[in-house]
Structure 1
Amino acid sequence: MAVTPDPTLTVAARRTLPAPVDAVWAAFTEPDLVRRWWGPTGFSCPVARMDVRVGGASLLTMRAPAEYGGGDTSNTWTYSVVERPTRLEYVMRFADPDGTTISPADAGIPPGVPDAVPHVATFTPEPDGGTTLTITEFGYTDEQARTMSQVGLDQCLDKLEAIFAGA
């Protein structure tokens, strides 16, 4: 019997960006572009090693601002679906700086975030030349973890949106 994720503990976001689908795809797959938006408000991304292919694993590191201690948190994204330029499916895991998987607790993440967080990102071209980006994350086990992740994703997408708005 298949298990259906609890939709109340799913993180989802949608943005319509004023850019063609290939440009939005590039923002998810090209290191220099990923570094510009990955991480919540005030965080930077000093590392984005992208290996976007089925079975490939990207390594991303976000750095907290000084007021949050300035520490680094790394993730891997391991891809199961790469349909250029319309769909990415990947599993996000916390990692050490070399890309070795660690538990969320070892990364300083509160309980409720699973060891592996499946993601689906879709890139839908719009008639006006823009792109609707939809991201869904699954597997959270409590509301606090889901809310923390939703806020983080929304802030990342705010930064991505600002890139395409010319800010």
Structure 2
Amino acid sequence: MNDPSFAVSRSIDAPVARVWDAWRDPDQIRRWWGPQGFTGTTAEVDFREGGTTLVGMTMKDGPEFFNTWTYTRIIDHDRIEFTSRFADETGAEIDPARMGMPPGVPKEVRHVVAFKEHGEGTELTVEEFDYEPGPMLEQSRTGQEQVMDNIAALFAAT
């Protein structure tokens, strides 16, 4: 696997098992999925190697955007690897250019999510691959930072 385009980490105030469940449980995914200004709407989870999860998010009074996460490797409570693609509400893949996305948005983005025990909490790291340097990479990094803030807030409130 080549080097990641970027990595984002957060210290989460919860044990690994609880943070792990936030990536498997549809109710929790809907609570943290999406950057600022978006609300998670859909989470149809098939959490197994070869399985695909369909996630959706929307802005207030805006269209719903969908992605799929197809899992390529899962190591229990340690690592999740998946490929993300833009999709329609049925999970059928959509080319980002057809959605009006600017050049530089890859058709698929590989992710590695790592969970590491850190005292009584968890060090959560998400790496994204396959972006070319440029504005879309920076936009994706900003979005991932905001998603990680949402995950941290999910556990700060419990």
**CA distance in 2: counterparts of 1:36 and 1:150, whole angstroms:** 20
Alignment of 1:5-154 (within 5 A): 5=3, 10-66=5-61, 70-126=62-118, 128-154=119-145
Q: Secondary structure at the match of 2:23?
A: helix
**CA distance in 2: counterparts of 1:123 and 1:107, whole angstroms:** 33
| Contiguous gaps of at least 5 residues in structure 1 | none
1:107 positional shift? 2.7
1:124 positional shift? 0.5
**CA distance in 2: counterparts of 1:30 and 1:109, whole angstroms:** 29
Q: Does the Cα contact within 8 Å between 1:18 and 1:131 map onto a contact in 2?
A: yes
1:83 positional shift? 0.9
**CA distance in 1: counterparts of 2:123 and 2:50, whole angstroms:** 26
**CA distance in 2: counterparts of 1:61 and 1:108, whole angstroms:** 17
**CA distance in 1: counterparts of 2:112 and 2:2, whole angstroms:** 15
**CA distance in 1: counterparts of 2:2 and 2:112, whole angstroms:** 15
1:84 positional shift? 1.2
| Contiguous gaps of at least 5 residues in structure 2 | none
**CA distance in 2: counterparts of 1:166 and 1:30, whole angstroms:** 17
Aligned positions, number: 158
Q: Secondary structure at the match of 1:29?
A: coil
Q: Structure 1-normalised TM-score?
A: 0.90
**CA distance in 1: counterparts of 2:110 and 2:35, whole angstroms:** 19
* Same amino acid, percent of matched pairs: 42
**CA distance in 1: counterparts of 2:2 and 2:52, whole angstroms:** 26
1:44 positional shift? 0.7
Post-superposition Cα deviations, 1:54-89, rounded to whole Å, max 9, x if no partner, equal 0000000111233xxx11110000001011111000
**CA distance in 2: counterparts of 1:141 and 1:134, whole angstroms:** 20
**CA distance in 2: counterparts of 1:162 and 1:24, whole angstroms:** 12
1:45 positional shift? 1.1
Q: What's the C-alpha RMSD, in Å, of the aligned pairs? A: 1.4
